[in-house]
Amino acid sequence: MRHATILGAIAALGMSSAALAAQGVDYTFVEGGYTYGEQAGGLMDGNGYRIAASLELPANLIVAASYRHMNYSGLPDMKATSAGLGYKWVLGDSFDIISSISYERNELFGNHETGLGLQLGMRGRVTDKVQLSASLGYVDADFPRHSFAVSAGARRYFSNPALSVALDVYKGTLWGFTNGDETLFTLSVRYDFGKLFH
């Protein structure tokens, strides 16, 4: 009986690993969601939305873009656009390290500021239905301010493996037109297309 239990546990782990490997980490998707934000340690709050898309190319290259629209009390709408190119280092069937460079643009008061973004992050499946992510980011803006940011998120997949929901938390120093810090909480829905290029 004991040997049967052990063999059953080994078989279950094997199937779980196979499922994990089959799912992997996806980089070709579209997503959108609601964002709640706080500035200056919670003295000002607001909400908005974020949309994003990503495409995995051959040779472990990834192109990605996002747009965020926020409305804070007492301020005009803030718009943030990002577009960049990344590279993934595959460290296993379900864990990757990603580095990227991006063009960043913030809009406020009818004006805009642009900058160059650098990011280093990781994504990994801890089960066949749960993926965790974390990253560090830096923006070098044309206005003499710089921004550092950290982010972390958890994603839950459903029986339909193409659909998932996530909660992501972002905290960074504001750059461009305003001073202080910003914390964002985004609840999003994603549709994965799988690997389009092999």
- DSSP for 52-117? EEEEEPSTTEEEEEEEEEEEETTS--EEEEEEEEEEEEEEETTEEEEEEEEEEEEEETTEEEEEEE
Check whether 16 has a pLDDT greater than 50.
no
pTM for this model (two decimals): 0.83
Average pLDDT, the chain: 85
Would you say residue 148 lies in a domain? Answer: yes
Please write the tens of the pLDDT for every residue from 56-73: 999 999 999 999 999 988
Would you say residue 198 lies in a domain? Answer: no
Number of domains into which the chain is organized: 1
Cα separation, 195 vs 27, in Å, equals: 8
Would you say residue 58 lies in a domain? Answer: yes
Check whether 110 has a pLDDT greater than 90.
no
CA-to-CA separations, 110 to 53, 62, 140, in angstroms, rounded:
26, 31, 21
Buried b (16+ CB within 10 A) or exposed e, 120-140: ebbbbbeebbebebebebebe
* Whole-number pLDDT of residue 143: 60
Tell me which residue range forms the domain holding 29: 2-192
Would you say residue 109 lies in a domain? Answer: yes
pLDDT-derived band at 24, boundaries 50, 70, 90: confident
Check whether 23 has a pLDDT greater than 70.
no
pLDDT-derived band at 175, boundaries 50, 70, 90: low
pLDDT-derived band at 8, boundaries 50, 70, 90: very low
* Whole-number pLDDT of residue 173: 80
Q: What is the mean pLDDT of residues 81-97?
A: 95
CB of 156 within 8 A of CB of 129?
Answer: yes
Q: What would the two tokens of residue 7 be? A: 């063999």
Q: What is the mean pLDDT of residues 32-44?
A: 87
Higher pLDDT, 77 or 180: 77
Of 49-58, 60-69, 96-105, 166-175, minimum mean pLDDT range: 166-175
* Whole-number pLDDT of residue 72: 87
* Whole-number pLDDT of residue 93: 85
pLDDT-derived band at 164, boundaries 50, 70, 90: very high
CATH of the domain at 29: 2.40.128.90
Cα separation, 73 vs 47, in Å, equals: 9
